[in-house]
Amino acid sequence: MKKLTTTIFTLFALGLLNAQTIESPSKEVKVNFELTKNGQPSYSVTYKGKEIVKPSTLGITLRDKEALDNGFKVVNYTTKSVNDTWQPVLGEYKNIQDLHNEGKIELIQPATNRQINVTFKVFDGGVAFRYEIPQQEKLNHFSITAEKTQFNLTGDHTAFWLPADYDSQEYVYTKTKISGIDHSLIDMGNGISLKSIAKPDAVQTPLQMKTADNIYLNIFEAAVVNYPVMHLATNKSTYQFESILAPSAVGDVAFLQTPFNTPWRTIMVSDDARNIVSQGPQMILNLNEPSKIKDTSWIKPMKYVGIWWEMHVGVSTWDRKGSQNAQNQLGQEAIKFPHGATTQNTKRYIDFAAKNGFNGVLVEGWNTGWEDWAGNWKDEVFDFTTPYDDFDIKSIADYAKGKNVSMIMHNETSGSVSNYERRFDRAMEVMKKYNYPAVKTGYVGRIIPRGEFHDGQRMVNHFNWTAERFAENKILLNSHESHRPTGYQRTYPNYIAAEAARGNEFNAWSYGNPPAHETILPFMRMLGGPMDYTPGIFEIKMSHYDPNKKEQVHTTLAKQLALYVTIYSPLQMAADLPENYERYADAFQFIKDVALDWDDSKYLEAEPGEYLTVARKAKGTQNWFIGAITNENARKSSIKLDFLTPGVKYEAIVYADAKDAHWEKNPKAYQIKKIKVDAKSTIKLDLAAGGGTAISIVPIK
């Protein structure tokens, strides 16, 4: 089903052009555009009659050229209405509707005779706009030194924020008023090895906020292509944010040629938090270009296990010498551990995957170079082709094929992107030779070419180019330590997942992720695309491996199950060790059963930093899965199952916290029960502190 309605009007009377209003289809969201007295573009936004963004100016400064920020006149204005439905290859929904009104303001700067357009798209869930610089005689090759996009807010809203770090998003979220944004609140002993904070009190996007009158706002961006990632400088007294961009090694932020469009700057708005996490990701996808992969039949979801968590908990190593694991990051020679990526150990994981219906096995530490990989800013670390002598890559590939299990390649670059790009084709030859349909890439450490940042134009181009090159070779991509996604997986749907946030591994060797962390992720990192969060840890406390360890996962076991539903990804890892799952086989059944690709998603309850409940319908079936999570506070609620098919009887298997469960005091206490339900049923949720509930609902045959 596809419907597209387009209406275009052009106004020529210059007196009517200097101020324009674009409304959303529901007329609840409005953008007002006008030129200031000095000819500077300005916009404001209202929601249900309330001003949410005060007049905010726009502009771009250029190297060795007059800025594109004032002295403009409007020469033309066109509008368009779009109502389109499209189908993602993988996603939270079978169909996504693109419903919005668009207004394009065409500007000219008479003093320089240069042209620039500002295009707005207004959805029922928010506003998007971008700069468009057409091809023209007076502007061809150029470099941008700064983008001066303002977001002037109306009050001292509550904000969830991360510091504007050009190299890492792996911080714990901080909740303050805008006026309270302060980097001194951040515990810098947080386990992040590389920090490159842009300026004091600047923040990353997405930036989730809530007003005093309970309106939810989110500033983000979409379709970041050939341009840096956007961060925000903060004026804490006026509640103004202004875009800042990661510079290149020579200082300018972007080197461009006309015609060129910047990424979309987005403002999501609703008086219902559920709309941010449901409509927000769809808005971001709608702002990206359709898939450039013609045949997508090879793009399939993957559920995997792997040799990974055992290095984080310290029972094996990445390197052959037995020194490099996450508990022993300095690699002291005196401490010896077994190498994880051995032929025998890998086959053990393959057997476990085959036995339990998993279609992927990841192996980290399979290749030479790990003895000297971290912290040295070294160019040539890995060659991505040579296995350690205890990893028989051909024997393993043959064994996996015989078990109908796919191997997932691991390419850690240690930040040396130039080295990876030199050896990229050879790395892919290895993947194709040994039938690896997917790859996990890593970018730990300072970037080479030296002077570049993870969030800069050079690296954005690398991450996007990598997805394109893997697509040409029918390989799925899961990037770690990349910039956070902005919907580019619509254009290259083989870009199946990314990390780009503080993942589950921090719980193994740092003070970890607080119980609220996973309730904030959907309002922040998850707006841009699926995350490889690596849930499913059953042995919650690290004292299981070392009695002297105090670290732990800050959830209950039941919440770890619920994360498979609340954190959307078509790539999901059962991250714990096989023997830990075997001890809790009844709870492990949910991980085996839960789907990865969906026909529909219902966000039943949501409040950032507090709780989230999501129901999802598995692709092509009548099976539903529900995940409910809470923060450090216990929570009771009830959910209606009116989304089920009327007249159909279902069996629900409820994986819940036990009555005495607690994320810190008793995290592994859970209970499982089976009940009969239908569309008229209500299920009561009783979540422990830091807890959750996971439910599978299947029609009774």
Distance CA 594, CA 590 (A): 6
Q: Per DSSP, what are the bridge partners of residue 269? A: 217
Pick the closest to residue 40 from 22, 18, 62 (CA basis): 18
* Secondary-structure percent of the chain, ordered helix, strand, coil, rounded to 5: 20, 35, 45
310 in active site: no
∠ at Cα 168 (177, 536), nearest 5°? Answer: 90
Task: Judge contact between 683 and 677, C-beta under 8 A.
Answer: yes
The letter for the amino acid at 440 is K
Residue carrying the six token digits 């849930």: 535
3-state secondary structure of 311: helix
Q: Which of 310, 505, 518, 551 is catalytic?
A: 505
List Cβ neighbours of 273 (8 Å cut-off, separation of 6 or more): 216, 523, 606, 607, 608
CA distance 141 to 663: 56
CA–CA dist 105, 111 (Å, integer): 19
**Euclidean distance between CA atoms 599 and 563, whole angstroms:** 18
Q: Contact, 299 vs 496, CB < 8 A? A: yes
Give yes or no for a contact between 597 and 696, defined as CB atoms under 8 angstroms apart. no
For the record, the structure tokens of 644 come out as 């089920």
Query: HSE (CB half, 13 Å, CA atoms) of 625?
Result: 25
Largest interatomic CA distance in the chain: 80
Give me 385's structure tokens: 């082709």
SS3 for 668? coil
8 A C-beta contact, residue 614 and residue 565: yes
Amino acid sitting at position 23: E
Q: Which residue has the tokens 């790859």?
A: 439
Contact 196, 171 (CB under 8 A): no
**Tokens for 133?**
């610089």
Distance CA 17, CA 9 (A): 12
Q: Quick one: 190 exposed, middle or buried, by C-beta within 10 A (0-12, 13-18, 19+)?
A: middle
Two structure tokens written together for 530: 């699926």
**Contact 127/32 with Cβ under 8 angstroms?**
no
> Can you tell me the distance from the alpha carbon of 88 to that of 571, in angstroms, rounded to the nearest whole number?
15
Q: First and final CA of the chain: distance in angstroms?
A: 31
Distance CA 253, CA 145 (A): 5
Closest C-alpha among 473, 455, 475 to residue 463 = 455
266 with 220: CB under 8 angstroms?
A: yes
Under 8 Å CB-to-CB from 365, ≥6 apart: which residues? 307, 311, 317, 318, 319, 324, 339, 340, 341, 388, 410
User: With the C-alpha atoms ordered 259, 265, 270, 276, is the resulting torsion angle positive or negative?
Assistant: positive
How many whole angstroms separate alpha carbon 486 and alpha carbon 293?
Answer: 18
The residues assigned a catalytic role are 505
